Chain A
Amino acid sequence: DQQVKQNSPSLSVQEGRISILNCDYTNSMFDYFLWYKKYPAEGPTFLISISSIKDKNEDGRFTVFLNKSAKHLSLHIVPSQPGDSAVYFCAARDSGGGADGLTFGKGTHLIIQP
């Protein structure tokens, strides 16, 4: 039962261009969404988050868009840099309370080509 889906296992983007990573979810109780970046043999590193009461959040080169009606969110990275090459995980939190565990997608491996 995949409540958080990242349908693209990998994505290749040229340096300087925009990277768009997509995520879909099925649980309407999710109220908080996060994107994490992960390098091999390291833990997930928090990138950016968005609450369900917003439709956009921006932090430097990273912007997350949330479409609640479509149960879809996306992460935009612009411009893409070689250091952005990593696996990106979408995660979501149920609205039940502060201690709820996150539900993760399977990740998208972003490759930035020079």
Chain B
Amino acid sequence: EPEVTQTPSHQVTQMGQEVILRCVPISNHLYFYWYRQILGQKVEFLVSFYNNEISEKSEIFDDQFSVERPDGSNFTLKIRSTKLEDSAMYFCASSIDLTGHHTQYFGPGTRLTVL
């Protein structure tokens, strides 16, 4: 069964460094998402991406964040200058919405630790 994959599974970085989290969405899906979950808190929406542009973003997704689909398969989240509070699990998701199927399928996540 097709699934969303994410790399790396765990990323450790120093505060102020740039990180890029990678995702390969399900191949025939049209919409791509990033979410995060800070330890002990709920899953929070960051951004959605459709037709090679951002469709919607939350207030969390400030200028330090960017997303890109550099080729036909990868979908990336870049954090330009990481802060301690960026430490969280980051989940990629994808969905297809041709006939009203809004179900989003999630990847296994990348644990980001900012020191």
**What is A's interface to B at a CB cutoff of 8 Å?**
32, 34, 36, 41-46, 49, 51, 89, 91, 93, 96-107
Tell me if A98 and B35 are in contact (CB < 8 A).
no
Tell me if A46 and B108 are in contact (CB < 8 A).
no
Known: A44-B91, A106-B42. A101 touches B35 (CB 8 A): yes
Partner of B33, one of A41, A101, A103: A101
Known: A98-B31, A99-B48, A99-B55. A104 touches B106 (CB 8 A): no
Contact with A along B79-115 (1 / 0, CB 8 A): 0000000000001000101001011111111010000
Secondary structure at chain B's binding surface: helix, strand, loop or mixed? strand
B56 within 8 A of A: yes
B57 (CB) vs chain A CBs: closest residue: A101
Interface hub of A32, A45, A49, A101 (most chain B Cβ within 10 A): A101
B43 (CB) vs chain A CBs: closest residue: A104
Residues of the B chain whose Cβ atoms lie less than 8 Å from the Cβ of A105: 42
Residues of the B chain whose Cβ atoms lie less than 8 Å from the Cβ of A45: 106
A4 (CB) vs chain B CBs: closest residue: B42
In the assembled complex, 9 residue pairs joining A and B whose CB atoms fall closer than 8 Å, in A order, are: A34-B102, A43-B6, A43-B107, A46-B104, A99-B49, A99-B55, A101-B48, A104-B44, A106-B41
